Amino acid sequence: MIAGYAGHRPAAPILVDMLRRQQYFDGGLSTGIATIHDGKLYTAKVVGDLDVLLERTDALHFPGSVGIIHSRTRDNLQAHAHPFTDDSGKLALVLNGTSRGVRTPEYWDNFNGIMQEFFDRGLTIKSLFEDKSNTPLRRVLNNKMSYSFTEFYSLFIGDKVKNSTKNTLGADLAQATKLALETAPANIVALHVHADLPDTITAGIVTRPMVAAVGQGETFMATSALALPEDLHNSPIISLPPTSVSQITPAGVNILSTTLETVRVEQIDYRIAAETYRRVEEALKGQKNSPKSLYEIPAMPDVWSEPMVDCKYAVEGGLLKPTGTAVYEALWALHKQGRLGITVDKSGAKPVARFWVE
C-alpha cells in the first residue's frame, strides 16, 4: 500500500496517518518512508508494520513537506523493503504490483540484461540475494545472484536523469518513468521523489490503483481513497488512469501522458464498474460477524473482455487489467453510502483488514 503527500506541512506525520488507515489492506510485513528537504533525501525502512518503523527509526520526525510511504506483504529482508534508491542516493521509489502475467523468457532476458549492465558499470544493487529456487524464469545476474523486481525501476529512472540539469529534471523524470514502464511493463504503480526536485512526486501507472485529492495548497495520494484524510472525503477524488505518468505538487495533479507504447490496458467502463460493485457488495453484505479480507473476495475474470489485456511480453491470462482499481472503487462507493465496515484481524500470522457491508 502506498501514500504520498506534497504540501506545506510536515509530510511524515501525514504519510504515517494515511498509511495507518490502509496498511493491512494488502501490506504490513515491511514498511518504509522517504521525504525530501533542502536538497537531501531522508529514508528509513524496516521488516514489520508501521509501528515497527516508528519504534526503530526517527521516521515520524523526518523533515520535509514532500514524501512517500509504503507497506508490502512479502519478504523478510530489510533490503527488499521500499523505498529503493537510485545509485546517486537522490531518488527514492516505492512500488505496488507484480510481474505475474508477463513472465516470458524474452521479458526476463531483457530485464536481467539491463540489470547486468548496471552491475557491470559499477552501480550498487542493494537487494542482491541468493535465489535457490532454480525456476527457469527468474531475476538473476551472471554471478547467480537475484535481486528485487522494484530496484530495477529506481536504478533505471535514476540512471536516465543522472546528467539532468535543474531546469530539465522534472521533464526528464517524467520521460524516464514512461520509458521504464515501456521497457518493463507489469501490473504496477510507482511513486518517486528526487532530492533536487523539492516539490514534486512523479507517478507512473500501468494498471494498479492510485488516487489523489487536492486541499488548500497540498495534494494527498494513496492506493485507496479510504486512506485519505476524512476532511477530504467530500472533495473530488482523482483516480489516476492506467498507462499514465503524472506529476503531483502542492498545487495539484498534472497528468502528462496516458499512453505507453508497449502496453494496451482495458479501461474500467460503466459495465465493469457496475458489475464489480455488485459482486463486491454481494461478497461482503451481511458479513459483519465473518468479515472478509481482500484476498477472500472472489476473482472476477469473466467481468473483463477477451482477449486478455496484452503488453510487449504478456502471456495468455496475464494480469494487466486494472482489477484492483475496480475493487477499490467499489469499496469507496460503499463507504460513501455509509455501509462499509472495516476491522483489523490480529489473530493470524499477520494483521489483516477485513470488510463487511451493512
Asked if 16 and 88 sit in the same domain, the reply is yes
130 lies in some domain: no
User: Does residue 136 carry a pLDDT above 70?
Assistant: no
Q: What are phi and psi of 20, to 5 degrees?
A: -60, -35
Asked if 234 and 337 sit in the same domain, the reply is no
Flag the least confident range among 97-106, 198-207, 284-293. 97-106
The whole-chain average pLDDT of the chain stands at: 92
**Full residue range of the structural domain in which residue 288 is found:** 270-303+322-357
Prediction pTM value: 0.95
Q: What is the pLDDT of residue 315?
A: 60
Q: What is the pLDDT of residue 308?
A: 46
Asked if 173 and 80 sit in the same domain, the reply is yes
Asked if 40 and 181 sit in the same domain, the reply is yes
Asked if 218 and 277 sit in the same domain, the reply is no
Q: What is the pLDDT of residue 310?
A: 57
Asked if 285 and 189 sit in the same domain, the reply is no
Higher pLDDT, 76 or 322: 322
Asked if 67 and 195 sit in the same domain, the reply is yes
Pairing of strands 66-72, 238-239: unpaired
Asked if 282 and 210 sit in the same domain, the reply is no
Asked if 65 and 209 sit in the same domain, the reply is yes
What are residue 193's DSSP bridge partners?
A: 92
pLDDT digits (tens, 9 = 90+) for 155-169: 999 999 999 999 999
Average pLDDT over residues 189-216: 96
The size of the chain, in residues, is: 358
278 lies in some domain: yes
Residue 191 · residue 202 · CB < 8 Å: yes
308 lies in some domain: no
CATH number of the domain to which 237 belongs: 3.60.20.10
CATH number of the domain to which 298 belongs: 1.10.10
Per-residue CA distances from 338 to 140, 158, 278, 332, 341 (Å): 48, 43, 16, 10, 8
Angle among Cα 155, 212, 208 to the nearest 5 degrees reads 55
139 lies in some domain: no
Count of domains observed in the chain: 2
What whole-number distance in Å separates Cα of residue 207 and Cα of residue 188? 6
